[in-house]
Amino acid sequence: MPELPEVETVVRSLRGVLTGRHIQAWQIFWPRSLDDPELPATLQQQADNRITGLTRRAKWILVLFANGSRIGIHLRMTGRLYPVSMQEWPTLDKHLISWAWQLDESEWLVFADQRRFGRTIWLPDENSYNAFNARFGPEPLGRKFTTASLFRALQGSRRQIKPWLLDQTRIAGLGNIYVDESLWLAQIHPQTATNLVPPKQAQLLRDSIRKVLRRAIAANGTTFMNFKFLSGSEGGYTDELLVFRRQGQPCPRCQGLIERIQVAQRSTHFCPQCQPWLVRS
């Protein structure tokens, strides 16, 4: 599933494609991808459906319109958004497409999704956006994600730290890959209870999360499964991963062997030698 760096890369690549355009027509091939079946008709009736920008919240792509409304798109496992020319459109395999926007007389934006898990939601006004926004914790690259706030939140829970970090109500946008990488950098065992993390380790964890995400964004994210970016290219951070999917290989820090275990039903990669359990001293 695309995580924060992958979604950020998609937003950056599509911003120039979509900003300033209008949705002239909307073809639906998989109605269950929409939270509201009337959404296409509703959008077409809006006074101004000109796209003014793209942004991201957690793992959602948000398309902004001049009338103040928003459309949220979640790619899930295999979703892809990409433009195609009017000449290409008839040749596409439509059974892989959930929906498509006709942007003008020469181009379509296609939402293809092989596994059909992707979702599209309608946020017509600020009240609906505020309710949507309230579902998520702070953005890990934002100002509100401080060491102090992270430490307070960790102390208020006794959950294992990996599922806690994956909880979108705690921190927005983190997923399996970057949590494993961040915990390795912070030298924290993925099954450590959150309330046992001391202030200095919380600072290291916060800095590690930001470091990993910034590096991944600079490399256009990581590619696993069937996920591709706008041009069909893959993320460059795959070759920079330190522990994720490297089970049985030497740890880059201590040369111990990386292990793979299940934590909260998620495949988890860590070094048992240099990521010790944190215990109350």
Active site residue 2: yes
Q: Which of 56, 57, 59, 70 is the catalytic position? A: 59
Q: Is 116 helix (H, G, I), strand (E, B) or coil?
A: coil
Nearest-CA neighbor of 246 among 228, 222, 230, 229? 222
Active site residue 116: no
Q: Are 59 and 173 in contact (CB under 8 A)?
A: yes
User: Distance (Å, rounded) from C-alpha 186 to C-alpha 202?
Assistant: 8
Q: Which of 21, 215, 260, 266 is the catalytic position? A: 266
Q: Which of 3, 6, 8, 181 is the catalytic position? A: 3
**Per the structure block, which two tokens stand in for 23?**
């949705």
Active site residue 3: yes
Active site residue 59: yes
Torsion, CA 41, CA 44, CA 47, CA 48, rounded to 10: 140
Q: Which of 2, 40, 83, 124 is the catalytic position? A: 2
Residue 185's alpha-carbon distances to 58, 216, 254, in angstroms, are 22, 14, 12
Q: Which residues are catalytic?
A: 2-3, 59, 266
